[in-house]
Structure 1
Amino acid sequence: MSVRPLTAADLPVLETLERELFGAGAWSAAMLAEELVGPGRWYVGVEVDGILAGYAGLWFDGDDAQVMTIGTATAHQGRGLGGVMLAALVARAREIGAASVLLEVRVDNEPALRLYERAGFTRLGLRRGYYQPENKDAWTMQLGLTSAQNGDAHE
C-alpha cells in the first residue's frame, strides 16, 4: 500500500470510484478535474498492488483545513486504507500550519465516525438537513492541531 498525490491521469479511475461510492450524487469527471487543481486543495490516493483503491482530499482556507472526502473502493474497505489517507491529510494540515482539521460525516456512517474518533476528532454538533434528499444529519467534527486546542503547553 502506498499513498501518493493525485494527478489528472487519475481522473478515469477517480470517476469510477466516485460513482461506486456516491451513486447519483457522484461528481462528474469535469468537477473532479476542477477539484484536483482548485486553490488550497490537496488530494492523495492510496494504491494497493499498483491500483488506485481510494482517494482523499483536504482544503485549506488559511486558518483551518477541511477534509473534503475520504473514499475507499468497496472491495478494499475495512483494510485500514481510510486511516492511512486520513493520517496523510492530518500530516499535510500540520505542514501547512492549519489550526485544526474540520469535517462533516453522516450520522449513520458508523465506520467513518469510528475512524475519525480513533484519530482524535471530537464531535462539535449536528448539522441538520445537510445531506439531501435523504435529510440525514451530519456530525461536524474537529481535530485541534494547535497547543491550546490539544491542551499541550509545550508544542
Structure 2
Amino acid sequence: MRVDDIPTISEIEREAFPTPWSEGAFHNELTNNHFAHYLVMELDGQIVGYAGMWLIVDEAHITNIAVRQGYRGRRLGERLLTQMQAAAVFLGAERMTLEVRVTNYVAQRLYAKLGFIPGGLRKNYYTDNGEDALIMWAELSRVEGVEIPYDRAES
C-alpha cells in the first residue's frame, strides 16, 4: 500500500466497517508506524481489497482486512489473508492474531479455515455498539501452505 492509495482504501473501509478508520489513521500507519505492513489487492488496475498487520517481534496482529463490496464472495479475502500470513512468516512471525465481532460468523469460518482458533474475548470492544470481540490465534508453522523458512524452523 502506498500513501496515494489511501483515498481508495478509505472508500473500501467505509463500505466494510461501521466505524471506519480515517484517512489520517492510514497515513499515520504508512508513514510513522514502523510495526505496520499493508498490502493492496488489485484487479484490472483497480484496488479491490487491502489488509494490514502490525509485526512485533514474532507476533503479527491483523489490524484490518476488507474487500470492496462488489467483489465479495470470490474468496479474495481468503487470498488476502493467506498473503498476509506468508508475509508475516517472511518477516519472522511465528504466530498471528486478530479480533473479530462475535456475531461475524462468516469471517470466523474463514479464519478457522486458515488455522485460527479462539483464544478469548475482548468485552465491549467495538465502539459502535459495544459488541464483544473474539480473539483468534494461528500458529503460522501449522498453517497449510505457509512455510517457515528452514533457518527459522530449526532455531
Higher strand share: 1
TM-score range, shorter chain: 0.7 to 0.9
Q: Residue 93 of structure 2: SS of its match in structure 1? A: coil
Q: Match of 1:120? A: 115
Q: Match of 1:93? A: 88
The CA RMSD measured in Å over matched residues stands at 1.8
Q: Match of 2:135? A: 140
Kindly, what percent of the aligned residue pairs are identical?
A: 37
Check 1:133–1:8 CA distance in 2 against 1; reply closer, same or farther (3 A cut): closer
Give CA-to-partner distance per residue, 1:13-64, whole Å, 9 cap, x none: 01211122224x2222111111123211110011122210111001011131
Q: Which of 11, 15, 26 is equivalent to 2:20?
A: 26
Q: State the 1:90 CA deviation.
A: 0.4
| TM-score, with structure 2 as normaliser | 0.86
Q: Match of 1:36? A: 30
Task: Please give the alpha-carbon distance, in whole angstroms, between the structure 2 residues aligned to 1:118 and 1:51.
Answer: 28
Deviant stretches of 4+, over 6 Å: none
Gaps of 5+ in 2: 143-152
Give CA-to-partner distance per residue, 1:83-135, whole Å, 9 cap, x none: 11101110011111112001110011111101100001111122211112411
Q: Match of 1:3? A: none
How many residues get paired? 144
Task: Please give the alpha-carbon distance, in whole angstroms, between the structure 2 residues aligned to 1:154 and 1:39.
Answer: 27
